[in-house]
Amino acid sequence: MRLSIERSALLRDRERERSGPRPRLPDWLRAPLPGGARYAAIKDRLRARGLHTVCEEAQCPNIGECWQEGTATLMLMGDACTRACRFCAVRTHPRPPALDADEPRKVAEQVAVMGLDYVVLTSVNRDDLPDGGAAHFAATVRAIQAAGAATLVEVLTPDFEGRTADVATVLAAGPDVFAHNVETTAALTPVLRDRRASYAQSLAVLAFAARERPHAITKSSIMLGAGESAVDVEVTLRDLRTAGVRAVTLGQYLRPSPWHHRVARFVEPAEFDMWKARCADLGFAYCAAGPLVRSSWRAGEHYLKALARS
C-alpha cells in the first residue's frame, strides 16, 4: 500500500514538472551546428552504406567537433537496456534481442569506412547475458585491430555486475582505454542509477582495470547539476584517483524527458574550470570539464594528451 501511495505521488510530481514551463537553456549550453570537410566526408560514407552512430542517434551536440577530429562512439549489443537509470534515455527491456554474432565484423567495417583515428565502443547493460556481453566487447576490439587500421580503441563498459572475470575478458583484448562511468556521487547513486548499480561496485571495476592493465588509461565520468554537493564531487574525484583512474570528464546533466530526474541547476563554465584545475591538483593525467562535455567528447585528443603526460 505504501509503495502504491509513493508511486502515485511520484507520478503526480512528474506530471506537474512535465506540464510546467521548461527552464531556458543558458547560452553556454548552445552548441554550433556541425560542419567541416571531414565531418561531411564521414557522413557521406555512412549514408552510402546505410550505417549510423550513437553520435547521431543521441543527437550529441559535439558531433561536428568529434567527427572533424576523427573520433566517434559506436554502441554495441542493441538499443534496449536491462536497467532503468533515471538519467538515461535508452529504452529498457528485461529480455533484449539476442546478440548479432556478426556485429564485431560490421563495427570493424564501420570504423574503416569512417576513417577513424579513435573509436569509443560502448553498450547498453545486458544483465540477461551470463558474461554481460564481455566476450562480445572483446571480439569487437579484436576485429578492429585485425582490420589493420591504426585506430585507437576505447571501451566504455557496463559494470558487469562487478564480475572481475568479465572485466578481465575485455581487458585481454587490449583496448587502449578502459572506461566505466560512476556517473554521479555516492549520495545520488541510488537516486539516479538502477538498483543493480552501485557506487562501490563501479569503483571496484575501475580499480581492477587499473591493476590488471596498468599501461592502458583508465577513465570515468561524472554528471554535474543533478543535485550533488561540492563536497561530494570532491570525494568522488578523490575516490576515482584512489581507484587508479587517470582520465576523467565532467559535464552538465541534461534531462532527456519530463519522466527523468530533473535538472537541479545549470553549472556555470567557471565552476567547470575550477573542477578541471582541481583534477590537475589531484593528479589526473587528463580532465575534460565543461557544460557540453560528455564521457566520449574528443576522446582521441584526451587519450593522446594523457599518454604524453603520463
Taking the C-alpha atoms of residue 13 and residue 158, their distance in angstroms, rounded to an integer, is 30
Round to the nearest angstrom and report the end-to-end CA distance of the chain.
Answer: 56
Taking the C-alpha atoms of residue 296 and residue 300, their distance in angstroms, rounded to an integer, is 9
Q: What is the pLDDT of residue 55?
A: 60
Cβ-based neighbour number of residue 174 at 10 Å: 14
Taking the C-alpha atoms of residue 35 and residue 30, their distance in angstroms, rounded to an integer, is 15
Q: How many CA atoms lie within 13 A of 307 on its CB side?
A: 12
Q: What is the pLDDT of residue 50?
A: 53
Q: What is the pLDDT of residue 293?
A: 86
Cβ-based neighbour number of residue 277 at 10 Å: 12
Residue 109: exposure state from Cβ atoms within 10 A (0-12, 13-18, ≥19): middle
| The one-letter amino acid at 23 | P
pTM of the model: 0.84
Q: What is the pLDDT of residue 134?
A: 98
Contact yes or no for 93/80 (Cβ under 8 A): yes
Domain 32-309: which topology? Answer: TIM Barrel (3.20.20)
Per-residue pLDDT of the chain (310 residues; tens, 9 = 90+): 433 433 444 444 444 444 445 567 777 666 665 667 767 777 776 666 555 566 665 556 667 666 666 678 888 998 889 998 998 878 888 899 999 999 999 999 888 888 888 888 999 999 999 999 999 999 999 999 998 778 999 999 999 999 999 999 999 999 999 999 999 999 999 999 999 999 999 999 999 999 999 989 999 999 999 999 999 999 999 999 999 999 999 999 988 888 888 999 999 999 999 999 999 999 999 999 999 887 776 777 677 666 645 6
Per-position DSSP letters for 102-163, written without gaps between them? THHHHHHHHHHHHT-SEEEEEE---TTSTTTTHHHHHHHHHHHHHTT---EEEEE---GGG-
Taking the C-alpha atoms of residue 296 and residue 237, their distance in angstroms, rounded to an integer, is 18
